[in-house]
Amino acid sequence: MALALATGALQGPNAHAGSQKEEALADAVRVALSNAILDARPPKPVFRDQADQQRYQGWLTQMSARLQRRLPDQQMRTEFLETAWYEAHRAGLDPGLVLGLIQVESAYRKYAVSMVGARGYMQVMPFWTNVIGDRNRSALFHMQTNLRYGCAILRMYLDMEAGNLYLALGRYNGSRGRPEYPNAVLSAWQNWKFKSPL
């Protein structure tokens, strides 16, 4: 897998950023993805009831403690987790899966760039900004934009693979059919599963 490098003077550890493939998309898929990306609403969660809100607060507290070593600044960590939760739910994904994927892809480095050009937390390939975005490749270093692209793309791959997460993860990484990347993400997901106190 490609070595991810933080821009500037910082260099990080190896990441599993692969080369997502540019695939022919049906017009309906392209339009749906584009609409999902261009929706600029801020990540403000809506809860069904008080219990739902309490579960979210419990999740946020638990994940913040687990992520503290990787993202020591509390405000930054809270904003990151709020956004990851929001974008994961918006795409119909488990937030723990998204956090596991980010762990494998970029080790939580906002400015990670792989040798094949994938960018940011979720290591999104720049061609996606041409296919479904506004061609602004630098926006892939913006936290919410990167997480929105990454979650929308993973959701699309899950739909393409009829819900098969193993194959969808392979597609996300450009390594479909090989076990290393899906196994790494599925293993990392275990670190980010929410243990409800209820």
* Percent of the chain topping pLDDT 90: 68
Sequence-distant (≥ 6) Cβ neighbours of residue 171 within 8 angstroms = 20, 21, 157, 160, 161
Q: How confident is the model at residue 61 (pLDDT cuts 50, 70, 90)?
A: very high
Model pLDDT, residue 4: 33
Has residue 17 got a pLDDT over 60? no
Domain locations along the chain: 4-191
Work out the end-to-end distance of the chain between its first and last CA atoms, rounded to an integer number of angstroms.
40
Mean pLDDT for 131-159 is: 92
Has residue 3 got a pLDDT over 50? no
What is the value of pTM for the model shown? Answer: 0.83
Nearest C-alpha neighbor of 78 from the set 63, 92, 88: 63
The predicted-structure confidence for 87-119, as pLDDT tens digits, reads as follows 999 999 999 999 999 999 999 999 999 999 999
Mean pLDDT for 59-71 is: 96
Model pLDDT, residue 38: 72
In one-letter notation, the amino acid at residue 81 is: L
Q: What is the mean pLDDT of the chain?
A: 85
Helices (H), the chain: 27-38, 50-67, 74-90, 95-106, 127-131, 143-160, 165-173, 180-191
The predicted-structure confidence for 159-188, as pLDDT tens digits, reads as follows 999 999 999 999 999 888 899 999 999 999
* CATH node for 4-191: 1.10.530
